[in-house]
Structure 1
Amino acid sequence: MLSKKKAKEILEEAIRTSPADETEVIINGGKTFSTRFTNNYISQNGAQKEYDITVRVAFGQQVGVAGGNIFDGDNLKQVVENACNAARHSKPDLEWTPVLAAREVPELQDAYLADTIDYTPEEKAARLAPILKRSIERGLTSAGMLVNSDNMLAVMNSQGLFGYQAWTGASFTYTAMAANQGSAWAEYHSHDMRELEIEALAEQAMERAKLAQNPVATKPGAYTVVLAPTAVIELVEFLNYLGFGGQGFHEATTFTSGKLGEQLF
């Protein structure tokens, strides 16, 4: 994990390097450990570590952005230079607003759990074993992934604003496949591996996969349906991403535009 101290040092160096009127720098990334299973057997344990840096600069209203995933020494200077070159060759952004002034940015203290990031492949295999055994006994095919990760995000700008947050992540995705085109899916995310009730989630998916066998064609029309919580979350997630964004509201490309203060649902 890139510590708060180290992240601040990198951000300060990027700010010092920049000749722009305004500079904003963001670092984010972390480590991910995944245990994949398919056809009722664990097929892969993987690990990935990556950190990215994004530099945004402004000369007046000329704005440029550049990024990279290697930011030590000359590489950091190159990212800043790339952002500055992009800004100098850009048309003025008439909607550009100055970077935020310095302020205190609170940091959540209980978002990072060592027990979650230290979860081993052996521990994950032990939790998956009963699920895969049950899948075989019921004549089903199981596939999915159990993941633990740590993440961080740090931001600094030329006005003195600095913020840092680290957190852990845990997720379980599961697909159960039955004969006769029956299948079902379950998913859960948390920052705490202990909150993942993977056996209960898998059991629900197995039951739904059996019920979904032998699907029949239906005519187009309006139907009352009951959606699983995971399906509702996915719909709301896209609605939040595409419908409730500030940019879409400002550019009048979303259904919320012009309806500030109105109840829509």
Structure 2
Amino acid sequence: MVKPDALTLFNTRPQHQAAHLTRLAEHAGVEVLACPTIEIEPQALPESAATCFKRFDKIVFVSRNAVSVLQQLFQAKGLASPPFGESAQCFAIGQATQQALQAQGWPLASLDIKRFVSEDLLATEALQDLQGQRCLIVKGEGGRPTLKVGLENAGADVEEWLIYRRRPAALCAQAWSKFQSAAHPVVLASSLQAWSNLVAMVTETETDSRETNSKNAQAWLFLQDIIVFSERIESAIREQGWRGRIFVVPQQSDDGVLSALKQISMQS
């Protein structure tokens, strides 16, 4: 069995999200190499955001970034927090998003669900028969249409605010080099884009190097253990050639990543 302190986690989460996970993992004896593969770039709110926001009955946040960026954007407008209506309810996609909403103290709907995914959320009683209600989806660019379609099918008038976009970050060459020589390297991919960016970054960096071969670098990467945030990501990267072990977090949060690290340690 590999001891926890023999694991080296390549933490690809955006910089502002990585610190808490790094502290948790290091406390458990895991070495952490931070190398964000995604940078978050806030976008402008609609011009009428301050006045129309209070009209929404239900607001769905698709990520922790959606929560933090919306707060930042309203603060930039001189408001302490988003101006929720009296009967507004907030919903989360992802356990980490749920925790971010709780930390903000925003009006959070009480739901009895285990998986904070679009399909399970749409199946809750709170999101049935939405005729005459206005729903807002707060998100970044891209993503699946499942949530919007589901809410519209329930009768809601749905609006989307795309308040941030993700852009690829540069590969951390020093961290990557150290990761390649680790005794037991473990990759973290909290989204399919995070994984895709990592593969592209590794390939591009190694192609520019005269000393190494990009195909060898990618082949090595695809043999390692990886922690992912959903079965959908697992299926996608397996189809694209990942040959190493894939561990899906039991919950989409930093604690879920820690549980996966412990599982890897026990199964090694």
Larger of the two Rg values belongs to structure: 1
TM-score tier, shorter chain, comes to under 0.3
Task: Compare relative contact order (CA 8 Å, sep 6+) and give the higher one, 1 or 2.
Answer: 2
| TM-score after normalising by structure 1 | 0.24
Greater strand content: 1
| TM-score after normalising by structure 2 | 0.24
